[in-house]
Amino acid sequence: MASTDISPLTGIIEEDKVFVDFGEHEGKSVLEIADTLPEYYDFLLENKHGGKCTIRRSKDKSFKLYVSQIAH
């Protein structure tokens, strides 16, 4: 993977391998959201930069994206 392939949201993990695990877009990949819901992708980016967005690897080895509702 070239350095230009690093996602601003998921880092070195490919966007099609990370899935939203909350809300109305649960189950959609970050790549799908970037392609079809750019405003929501921007919302996720804002939360990442605010320290509220995390990616966790689940037991089935998939990656799940979460946004914390707790104020820091």
Given this model, what pLDDT does residue 16 score? Answer: 96
**Could you tell me the mean pLDDT of each successive run of 10 residues in the chain, 72 residues long?**
75 96 94 97 94 93 89 50
For 13, the domain range is 3-67
Locate 39 and state its tokens.
């405003």
Q: Is residue 72 part of a domain?
A: no
Q: Is residue 63 part of a domain?
A: yes
Q: Is residue 59 part of a domain?
A: yes
Split into its structural domains, the chain has a count of 1
Name the pTM for this structure.
Answer: 0.84
User: Angle at CA 13, nearest 5°, toward 27 and 5?
Assistant: 120
Helix (H, G, I), strand (E, B) or coil at 54: strand
- Rounded CA separation 55/23 (Å): 15
Q: Is residue 39 part of a domain?
A: yes
Q: Is residue 24 part of a domain?
A: yes
